[in-house]
Structure 1
């Protein structure tokens, strides 16, 4: 971000209401309306997910974001091209504390990774560079081997599910009736899935995979 934030067009001043986690913030705009923000192009470890434990460096990311926002004289949000909100009605934005991109700070300090890359990519190259800085130095999330789920989204903090044990066939049984076979569609990752299903898929969809449902809301790759 080379130019001073205050001189940029399209910025909206806001004030802090509360920090939810490292990549989600609630703010108040000039009209007094509360906006729930989802910070574009970054992902931080979970701290408040109802079905997941607190992930390593999640609390540190939330604390650092809180520190940055509380220390600023003015906060600004900036929208990118494309959708302005997601299906949770969160505003998809870049967030600045005075002239500082909080996204870049979290990435450079190893408290966030680049993630959820869809149509909004205005600062992707800058964010990639900040992420690489932390990765090269083994900072934060990059200090734990295999923790960042590269090639997919999110972090590898859950134990793998055990393989089901084989069941033996009974010695005698009634003739089996054929069950209809479920059809499935397999995609390697969210990037590939969203080429076919741009809004993601629900849990009853043939292409749904639980590993792509980061927030466990029964909707993958939203």
Structure 2
């Protein structure tokens, strides 16, 4: 497995947040871009349509085959599918953030991968507030909500507020603005500065 940062060459893009790169040893890596989520082009036979195609086309434009990039990993270097989880840097720009700034992605921050969480959250908030890109279309589901609706379940168990540090049951995620959410797939990842808010306390505080 590569270290925290490694140079690579783009082989191809798959959709708006997934690509293949070749490292200096000639090894191909599938990269799932960390902390962002773009509309699905193909998930269980379903697509999110226009905005999915827009995000995929934009990533292909930003990272054409042969482009030189740097991949930066976080606490978890890979996912259950064997893909490298990475921040993609090209020409000094963090492409993960650029897609958020253009309204072609929403944050999908999963603990403990929090290296760029604050920066990415702020970029998403600006685009959401300005109704930029997919946020101009109220019919578009957040990509993870789209996947959960098709699967009938979520891999995440808890959701936290990046700005407040409070952690809630996933069913209470509407208490946290979409750009401020941090998902926890494992309750053991709930560590300072995050604190789980017990239901009894929420009731007492009027939450």
- Tell whether 2:37 aligns with 1:43: yes
- Alignment partner, residue 112 of structure 1: 105
Deviations 1:23-46 (A, max 9, x none): 111000000000000000000001
How far residue 193 of structure 1 moved from its aligned partner, in angstroms, is 6.0
How far residue 67 of structure 1 moved from its aligned partner, in angstroms, is 1.0
Q: Taking structure 1 as reference, are residues 88 and 31 closer, same or farther at Cα in structure 2, changes over 3 Å only?
A: same
Looking at structure 1, the residues matched to 123 and 189 of structure 2 have their Cα atoms a distance apart, in angstroms, of: 30
Q: Taking structure 1 as reference, are residues 10 and 118 closer, same or farther at Cα in structure 2, changes over 3 Å only?
A: closer
- Tell whether 2:138 aligns with 1:140: no
- Tell whether 2:64 aligns with 1:70: yes
Looking at structure 2, the residues matched to 36 and 197 of structure 1 have their Cα atoms a distance apart, in angstroms, of: 25
Looking at structure 1, the residues matched to 184 and 85 of structure 2 have their Cα atoms a distance apart, in angstroms, of: 22
The answer for unaligned runs of 5 or more in structure 1 is 1-8, 162-185, 199-222
How far residue 70 of structure 1 moved from its aligned partner, in angstroms, is 2.4
| TM superposition score normalised by structure 2 | 0.68
Residues 73 and 98, structure 1, Cα contact 8 Å, conserved in 2 = no
Taking the TM superposition and a 5 Å limit, the aligned residue runs for 1:194-213 are 194-195=186-187
Q: Which has the larger radius of gyration?
A: 1
Q: Taking structure 1 as reference, are residues 71 and 37 closer, same or farther at Cα in structure 2, changes over 3 Å only?
A: closer
Taking the TM superposition and a 5 Å limit, the aligned residue runs for 1:94-173 are 94-145=87-138, 147-149=140-142, 153-155=144-146
Residues 44 and 113, structure 1, Cα contact 8 Å, conserved in 2 = yes
Looking at structure 1, the residues matched to 34 and 11 of structure 2 have their Cα atoms a distance apart, in angstroms, of: 19
Residues 141 and 148, structure 1, Cα contact 8 Å, conserved in 2 = no
- Alignment partner, residue 6 of structure 2: 12
Looking at structure 2, the residues matched to 41 and 56 of structure 1 have their Cα atoms a distance apart, in angstroms, of: 22
CA RMSD of aligned residues (A): 3.1
The answer for unaligned runs of 5 or more in structure 2 is 153-168, 174-181, 191-207
Q: Taking structure 1 as reference, are residues 191 and 141 closer, same or farther at Cα in structure 2, changes over 3 Å only?
A: same
How far residue 71 of structure 1 moved from its aligned partner, in angstroms, is 9.0
Deviations 1:9-32 (A, max 9, x none): 953110011101111110000000
Looking at structure 2, the residues matched to 70 and 191 of structure 1 have their Cα atoms a distance apart, in angstroms, of: 31
Q: Secondary structure at the match of 1:62?
A: helix
How far residue 72 of structure 1 moved from its aligned partner, in angstroms, is 8.4
- Alignment partner, residue 218 of structure 1: none
Looking at structure 2, the residues matched to 56 and 157 of structure 1 have their Cα atoms a distance apart, in angstroms, of: 20
